[in-house]
């Protein structure tokens, strides 16, 4: 597949990106897309783990879609942190340690915030 060239280009100001079409703008993603950084319930509290609520960690990002999680958390953990659920359809990606792992979320879940954190870009 080939695309027509734009009539004019300019320097993007981003070294690795190079030139972009004259009418394009560059902006940091964080300024344009709402995102959520995950969290981790305190360890050593059995009342926070082993529940029924999906809790995504980097180990769950093995395919294009996360359909289930190896770990589950409890309502008590969610209430303690006043955590927000991440809706199905959101894009998960890692930004520390395992940089570059990505997957879509197919079920409403909560996400890990340590070792390494997942950032979630909401789909809506």
Strand 49-56's sheet: what is its strand order?
A: 71-73, 49-56, 110-111
**Stated length of the chain:** 124
The residue range of the domain holding 81 is: 29-121
- CATH for 73: 3.90.220.20
- Using alpha carbons, select from 59, 56, 66 the residue that is nearest to residue 113: 56
Structure pTM?
Answer: 0.66
68 to each of 40, 58, 65, how far by Cα in Å? 18, 13, 9
Rounded CA-CA distance 81/42 in Å is 10
Q: Give how many domains the chain has, as a whole number.
A: 1
User: 22 lies in a domain?
Assistant: no
Exposure on the CB side of residue 37, measured as CA atoms within 13 A: 8
User: 90 lies in a domain?
Assistant: yes
Rounded CA-CA distance 42/47 in Å is 10
Coil, strand, or helix at residue 58?
A: helix
Instruction: Tell me the pLDDT of the chain (124 aa) as tens digits.
Output: 677 899 999 999 888 889 999 999 888 766 667 667 788 888 888 899 999 999 998 889 999 999 999 999 999 999 987 888 888 988 888 777 777 788 999 999 998 864 333 444 444 4
Both tokens of 72, joined, read 């589950």
User: 18 lies in a domain?
Assistant: no
Q: What backbone torsions phi and psi does residue 81 show, to the nearest 5 degrees? A: -95, -10
């Amino acid at each position: 597949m080939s695309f027509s060239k734009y009539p004019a280009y300019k320097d993007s100001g981003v070294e690795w990106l190079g030139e972009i079409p004259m009418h394009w703008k560059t902006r940091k993603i964080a300024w344009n897309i709402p995102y959520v950084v995950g969290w981790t319930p305190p360890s050593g509290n059995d009342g926070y783990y082993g529940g029924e609520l999906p809790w995504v960690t980097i180990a769950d990002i093995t395919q294009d879609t996360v359909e289930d999680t190896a770990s589950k958390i409890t309502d008590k953990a969610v209430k303690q942190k006043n955590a927000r659920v991440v809706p199905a359809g959101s894009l998960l990606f890692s930004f520390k340690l395992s940089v570059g792992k990505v997957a879509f979320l197919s079920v409403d879940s909560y996400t890990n915030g340590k070792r390494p954190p997942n950032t979630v870009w909401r789909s809506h």
